[in-house]
Structure 1
Amino acid sequence: MIRRFGETPQAGRKYTRRVGVYGILPRGRHLLLTCQTEPGPDLQLPGGGIDPGESPITALHREVYEETGWLVAAPRRIGAFRRFTYMPEYDLWAEKICLIYRARPVRHIGPPTEPFHDALWMDTADAAQMLGNGGDRHFATLHLQRL
């Protein structure tokens, strides 16, 4: 059973399952995050959907690079959660299965390549309160407890 965060699914509404990977990306007391400005703003753990035929690790590397411009190393899965939400960019009601990995940001290549995303470093304690969904906040809080 995967813990659910956020809204209870609405009776009678069809949700499409979308599996994605997201990163806790620490450096010292800070986390590398992304702010999606459209349709947002929404502060998020970097990550996103796994493409057909793609492994979760490959998707994590791709999504982190697209949303932050950083390369990461040593990814390790630390948990998962699910949430039911509307995704306006896809006009889709989704059951998001979010696989959470901790990885080490190792090299900044350039700006994010994903439109409407800005990378930023934030103190972990602030991130644990400001991330845009309960699941992201939960995993940031768990990381904060390790510091």
Structure 2
Amino acid sequence: MTELLGPSGLPYRPCAGVVLINPAGLVFAGRRIDNPGPAWQMPQGGIDPGETPRDAALRELVEETGVTTELVDVVAETPDWVTYDLPPELLGKVWKGRYGGQKQKWFAMRFLGPDEAVRIATAHPEFDRWQWMRAADVVESIVPFKRDVYARVLGEFRKILA
């Protein structure tokens, strides 16, 4: 099987993401610590060798939000991989220059716990703030080069969010 390459000629980094939905139908978003401007995103991260996308999504959820697996119900996943390409100014600077973007599997998860169970002050924090947002606001709050991916993913899960 050949590796999927982006327009840069570099492969896509395998990644898993979580659309964490509270009982009111709002989506978790965290404000990234490492971005110079305000950039909010949903939990996501790389898939380790030998790890399934679902297992990676659950691991990333715990690592980035402190929300444990017994506090979520996985209700859906994107049927296909979703890709995005890094903008030219980031090529060669992130992921040690090995990837030109990401291919992502996304999972919709219902949050079953209290807000106090969200603890972003983790061992390796990625967020300095978090909040529940309407799906459209999450799309508007992400860095511009990821907006199409977020719109597509949240569109895939629109029935769950309704």
TM-score bracket for this pair, using the shorter chain length: 0.7 to 0.9
CA distance in 2, matches of 1:110, 1:95: 28
Counterparts of residues 4-23 of structure 1 (less than 5 Å): 9=7, 13-23=8-18
Counterparts of residues 87-98 of structure 1 (less than 5 Å): 88-92=93-97, 93-98=99-104
Question: TM-score, normalization: structure 1?
Answer: 0.76
Return 5+ residue gaps in structure 1 as ranges.
Answer: 1-7
Question: Counting helix residues as a fraction of each chain, which structure ranks higher?
Answer: 2
Bigger radius of gyration: 2
Question: TM-score, normalization: structure 2?
Answer: 0.70
Q: Which amino acid aligns with 1:139?
A: V
Aligned residues: 137
Instruction: Give percent identity, aligned residues only.
Output: 21
Counterparts of residues 1-147 of structure 1 (less than 5 Å): 9=7, 13-27=8-22, 28-40=24-36, 41-71=38-68, 72-79=72-79, 80-85=81-86, 86=90, 88-92=93-97, 93-107=99-113, 108=117, 110-113=119-122, 114-117=124-127, 118-132=129-143, 133=146, 134-144=148-158, 147=162
CA distance in 2, matches of 1:141, 1:128: 11
Q: Comparing 71-80 with 60-69, which one deviates more in the overlay?
A: 71-80
Shift of 1:39: 3.2
Return 5+ residue gaps in structure 2 as ranges.
Answer: 1-5
Shift of 1:22: 0.7
Shift of 1:97: 0.6
Over the aligned positions, Cα root-mean-square deviation in angstroms equals 2.5
Shift of 1:142: 4.4
From the superposition, tell whether residues 112 and 144 of structure 1 become closer, same or farther in structure 2 (CA, over 3 Å).
farther
